[in-house]
Structure 1
Amino acid sequence: MAQALNSDIRQWYPVCTLPRAEKKAYQALINKGLQAYLPLHRQQKQWSDRKKWVEEPLIKSYLFVNINELEKTEVLMTKGISRFIYFSNKIANMPERQINDLKLLLASSIELEITQEDLQPGEKVTIKAGALKGLMGEIIAYRSQKQLALRLDNLGCSIIVNVAAALIDRL
């Protein structure tokens, strides 16, 4: 009985894809009927003869799946998926709130920057106005500017957002 209850619980998991295979892996998961999320952002690319706006994965070689225990094997058997992300010898999962925060960030017109640096935690804050109202994060020093870092704990990276100091409250 406990096994049946466990198989109904869905959680978000970050998965690693093969290099430059994020979109194909995402589509393969969707074709299998699995719930997946691939955060994309638009950026302008420069070629020798032209410029073009393209949608690129926000975090290279990552996408997210919302699955139960029984679907983990199906995810690993999907073309383009490399592995689950592990922390402390177990598969890392993410709270629904972090996925929703990521979606909110991408829906806003704020310029994002991804860094793989190991950012040290600072003062906890919440945004009190604007498109990102209600989001929580940490203040960090980055390139000598005060910025709000929304740390996605289970990814090993941070999302940096420029926010005016007047728009944040200390927690």
Structure 2
Amino acid sequence: MALDKDTGKLRWYPVYTHPRAEKKAYDTLTNKGVEAYLPLQKRLKQWSDRKKWVEEPLIKSYLFVRIAEHDQAEVLMTKGIARFIYFSGRITSMPDKQIEDLQLLMASSLELEVTEENLQPGEKIKIKAGPLKGLTGEMIAYRSQKQLLLRLDSLGCSIIVNVAASFINRF
């Protein structure tokens, strides 16, 4: 992929996929040579006759591509990709830090929950210890537990993880 003219580097873009097409779209993009990221989480699913661990996308119908702006058409021509995400009439990009934070969360052994609830912002915090050391976010009260809220504004969703209060610094 070519470098972005404005910044001299590639940028991350969230893309919306057709329902249940995230994995196939991801595979097709990577086979085309496009850098893509699909955060997957293992979940125990139960059917009437059995239970099985399956990998599901953390954020349904979303994946992330790291491309130059002029490569957007190539991504849209990929089977399973529905559209780019728009904010204020323009295709939105995400800071590298948000993708790095998401990758850090996925590498941890913590159970994550994604919510589209309109959670009210609280104190800004930074984790000072544990597997998520260095991660910043907002502290909220949720289901009577203190948890870290990592808000992904460009996607309109939030990721909530349990963090011990002793691991958190206010700033």
Question: Does the TM-score normalized on the shorter chain lie above 0.5?
Answer: yes
Q: Which residues in structure 2 correspond to 1:124-143 (within 5 Å)?
A: 124-143=124-143
- Matching residue of 2:16: 16
Contact 1:108 1:132 (C-alpha < 8 Å) held by counterparts: yes
State the alpha-carbon separation in 2 of the partners of residues 80 and 168 from structure 1: 40
TM-score normalised by structure 1 residue count:
0.94
In the TM superposition, 1:1-171 aligns within 5 A as: 5-6=5-6, 9-171=9-171
Gap regions ≥5 residues in structure 2: none
User: Distance between the aligned counterparts of 2:24 and 2:109, measured in 1?
Assistant: 26
* One-letter code aligned to 1:66: R
What is the CA deviation profile of residues 100-131 of structure 1, one whole-angstrom value per residue up to 9, with x for unaligned ones? 11111111111111101111211000011100
CA offset at residue 145 of structure 1?
A: 2.2
- The CA distance in 2 between the partners of 1:83 and 1:168, in whole Å, is 37
RMSD between aligned residues: 1.6
Amino acid at match of 1:144: S
Cα offset for 1:7?
Answer: 8.8
3-state secondary structure, aligned to 2:79:
coil
Q: Tell me how far apart the structure 2 counterparts of residues 6 and 122 of structure 1 sit (CA, whole Å).
A: 34
- Unpaired runs of 5+ residues, structure 1, are none
Between Structure 1 and Structure 2, which shows a larger proportion of helix residues? 1
CA–CA separation in structure 2 for the residues paired with 1:10 and 1:89: 21
TM-score relative to the length of structure 2 = 0.94
**Following the alignment from structure 2 to structure 1, what is the Cα–Cα distance between the partners of residues 114 and 7?**
34
